[in-house]
Amino acid sequence: MTKRKICVVTGTRAEYGLFHPVLQKIQESSKLKLQIVATSAHLSSEFGLTYKEIERDFFIDDKIDNLFSVETKTSIAKSTGLATMLLADSFEKLNPDIVLLLGDRFETHAAATSALLMNIPIAHIHGGEITEGAVDEQIRHSITKMSFLHFCSTEVYRRRVIQMGEESERVINSGAPGIDNILTHKLLSITELESQIDWKFSDRTALFTFHPETLSMNDLKVDLNNIFKSLEESSLGILFTYSNADSGGRIINKKLEAFCKNDSKKYKVVKNLGVLKYLSAMSHVDLIIGNSSSGIIESASFEKPVVNIGDRQSGRLKGVNVIDSKIKDLSKSIKLALSKKFIHKCKGIQNIYGSGKASIRIVNELINQPLSVKKFFIDIK
């Protein structure tokens, strides 16, 4: 029996972490053959050469070094164009039956464009979601319309993809695969984690991840200075992770490095924690701060309070453990999140993004769905 070749394109550490349980299930399947193409930040020393993390777990079939070093909107556009050209060569060589994509990044859009124009069916994870503060919003919906098969993280998002004219039989409420990681990984104890990152947790510690709001006209450096001021006032120990390779990401990372030098016992910045250390950190901290989707999606499974800063995640469904905060209100929001009343409110909550079975549902559909590149727009009756 010929195996279906599933080509997964990944460009960042965070996206790879979400992909991981799905990749494992594909590799274990007797009916599927896994192909992996690593792009963008995975090949950048500045972002931790995270392709090495992939190689510890799987075989990489191709590497696409498309990331321009200068961080501007122009360089992101050029990186996208280069990725589109190089991924076309990869797809021609690998000849996949399905290109499997996740999320809303520029290199993901490049992969979808190449696959679409080469008549390769596209399967897309995390469609139908809204993030009004970033260009990811438009990229995600664009990939949805290029894709043949859709794996949505909630029923609300599934209905939204159907609203966009997609046939309901090809739109599956799989749940978020990131939740699967929490069940499949044996998380590190706090002592093990501290040893691996060479840093001690404080009496109260926060995990902080902040990405650029790519549609914002605000001065990013001013915003960061105001955020740091609030963090200092909180007296929290803080474990920072690097921002992504969007326009403005390098500014954030340089500011994080400089800020942590002010007090290396209280603050620690890590380029790439990887899936295991990141989830372990989330399980042990008292609070999650920033604007990462992980603070919205995975945090509820740990019953952790979250302060979500700004508009990057505006529109995304959130659990009761999430406090939306403007930068000017950050100090007040942190105090609220750490109050006994709010911490009690977070206990026993159910994660609206699923129960940890997304990867099984996704792989079953990759095996059984009939494939086509021809679609018909379905009007809502």
Strands (E), 57-148: 62-64, 98-102, 122-125
Strands 287-290 and 267-270: unpaired
**pLDDT attached to residue 70:** 55
**pLDDT attached to residue 9:** 98
Q: What is the pTM of this model?
A: 0.89
pLDDT tens digits, one per residue of 40-65: 989 988 888 889 999 999 999 999 99
Structure tokens at 340: 């006994």
pLDDT band with cut points at 50, 70 and 90 for residue 373: confident
**How far is residue 84's CA from residue 107's CA, in Å, rounded to a whole number?**
8
The residue written with tokens 């909550």 in the block is: 349
Domains of the chain: 4-175+357-368 (3.40.50.2000), 186-346 (3.40.50.2000)
**pLDDT attached to residue 134:** 75
Structure tokens at 322: 């999430």
